[in-house]
Amino acid sequence: MEQQQETVPDWKTDFPYSTVETLQVTRRQFAKFLCLVSGGLAAGSALVAIKSAFFPEKEVTGEHFVCNRTALPVGGTRSFTIAGSTIPYILIHLENGEFKAYEQKCTHLSCAVFYQAGTNKIMCPCHNGWFDAATGEAIQGPPPRPLPSLQVIVKGDEIYVTGHPKNS
């Protein structure tokens, strides 16, 4: 009986392996893995570049009616979407009388943003990010980019929005 236990089982001679090799990562393997990560990051950068060069976001074209001027008191806001797209926008009547329209999507992780009446700032409640309501610039917190904006056109009593003219 004892002799039987001591003999190496057949499968071990067929598939020899060393415990150390299966449990530990060598520095060679680690270096190769870092190379793989490097390749992945390069591929990611390439995807970003291709996407932005050949498939850019569609610009908003044409003028879109939002609401009547009288429907939006000073300091008030109104959410709206543009026909044919699902992006939420927000129209703000600033205290200085100007109208501004921004995407209502935080540039950090896409939470809805809100205008804080009286402060001239747009706030994202998710991670306490703040934007300048006059320019859309990110002024505090995690958002890395300004809020994308639309151009507002006031025609008499009616408010329209349109995309920014291409700056080329």
Partner 1 sequence: MSNFRSAQDKAHPNKSSTLMLAIITLLILIVALQIWLLYTGLNNALTQHADVALIACIVSVLLFVAAVGLLYFLPGKRR
Q: Give the footprint of partner 1 on this chain (CB under 8 A).
A: 27-28, 30-32, 34-35, 37-39, 41-42, 44-46, 48-49, 51-53, 56-57, 107, 144-146
How many residues are there in the chain?
168
- Give the separation between CA 120 and CA 126, rounded to whole angstroms: 19
Shortest Cβ distance from residue 120 to partner 1 (Å)?
Answer: 22
Q: Which one-letter amino acid corresponds to residue 100?
A: K
Sequence-ordered strand ranges (E) for the chain = 64-68, 77-81, 88-93, 99-103, 114-116, 121-124, 129-132, 138-140, 149-155, 158-162
- Binding at 141: pick from partner 1, ligand FES, none (beta carbon under 5-8 Å per type): ligand FES
Residue among 45 and 110 whose Cβ is closer to ligand FES: 110
| 145 is a site residue for ligand FES (CB under 6 A) | no
Query: How many CA atoms, within 13 angstroms, populate the side-chain half-sphere of residue 101?
Result: 26
In angstroms, give the least distance from the CB of 168 to partner 1.
Answer: 11
In the complex, the smallest distance separating the C-beta of residue 10 from partner 1, rounded to whole angstroms, is 28
Residues of span 79-108 touching ligand FES by CB under 6 A: 106, 108
- Exactly one of 12, 32, 51, 127 binds ligand FES (CB under 6 A); that residue is 127
CA distance 28 to 34: 10
User: What's the CA gap between 155 and 160, in Å, rounded?
Assistant: 8
Using CB under 6 A, which of the segments 1-9, 58-66, 135-143, 147-155 binds ligand FES? Answer: 135-143
148 binds ligand FES (CB under 6 A): no
